[in-house]
Amino acid sequence: MPPQTFGKAINQALTQAMELSPDVMVLGQLVDYKSGVFGTTTGLVERFGPERVQDFPVSEGLMTSAAIGAALVGMRPVIVHQRIDFMMYSLDAIVNWLSLMRFKSNGHSNLPVTIRAIVGKGWGQGPQHSKSLHAWFAHLPGLKVAVPATAYDAKGLLLESIFGEDPVMIIEHRSLYSMTEDVPEAPYRVRFGHAHVRRRGKDVTLVAIGSMVPMALRAADQLASESIDVEVVDLRTLSPLDDGTVCESVSKTKRLVVADPAWRSVSVAAEIIALVSERLGDKLLANPQRICFPDSHTPMSAPLEKEYYPDEARMVQVVRKASLE
């Protein structure tokens, strides 16, 4: 398996999906530019033509509606939003149409639309380019939500989405695009609803989402030097959520910390702590903890941004405290 960056793995998945099926098409602003969208769509228009790789005006709602129409006549569109913040203009199409079709048609109709939404992080992205809104969409029935943390999962989850039968939102953190991992060249699919235990441990369960996963693994390595054995669970998909793997891990360690790259209140972290407390509350040896963003918009200045985002030292501190209670 040759090493690939996270961004290159996405490009490879799109290329292979379009080779496998003439029904796959890609829509989005600047998807047909030579540079692609952070390199993820580079080369597609040259290979598959403008009918299947279409630049789109700055009209997010129209683009999503066009994809819904294309899916209704048998296409498998992939929409690319360079920033999830501006995807909000397409909420009516997503909430009132895309997520409802299977329910409203009594299971007779489906919309295999894949939405790639990118989250900016670091480099002074500020409050309009860095929102982490995965909890919003995981709350919505009828829509699957994935947050890949590795190049392998980025490719496999994207192919699973494109060739699945339901609408999917894949939320990609820009900070992961340069990360490298061995990725099979052949097409493969990563199933939804299956979390991955990235590191085995017996003292604390550290559930991590998306960009928090690499940090969780580094924190676990550091804590291992203090003889604190941390189990790191990468959720991979938020809807469906693999509650079985999370509860199995916490049943073993009896301690839980959740690292969620989003605002603290009403977060996926809060949901995970709630479900574990409901099922295993009387078995826990310490109060569950969450590592999230403050309930405030992202500052643009570098010093404030550094304070805003949780870092590895903060994660080590929280997990260490949980292990000692």
Name the token pair of 250.
Answer: 């916490």
Tens digit of each residue's pLDDT (9 = 90 or more) over 216-274: 999 999 999 999 999 999 999 999 999 999 999 999 999 999 999 999 999 999 999 99
**Report field, pTM of the whole predicted structure over 0.85:** yes
Name the token pair of 76.
Answer: 């498998």
Q: What does DSSP say about strands 237-239 and 289-293: parallel, antiparallel, or unpaired?
A: unpaired
Q: What does DSSP say about strands 76-81 and 114-119: parallel, antiparallel, or unpaired?
A: parallel
Contacts for 107 with CB less than 8 Å, ≥ 6 apart: none
Active-site choice (81, 129, 134, 173): 129
d(CA 24, CA 194): 25
Residue whose tokens read 């203090």: 226
Helices (H), 21-150: 44-48, 60-72, 91-93, 101-104, 134-138
d(CA 32, CA 46): 8
First to last CA, the chain: 43
Count CB-CB contacts under 10 A for residue 43. 14
**Catalytic status, residue 139:** no
Tens digit of each residue's pLDDT (9 = 90 or more) over 16-58: 999 999 999 999 999 998 888 999 999 999 999 999 999 998 8
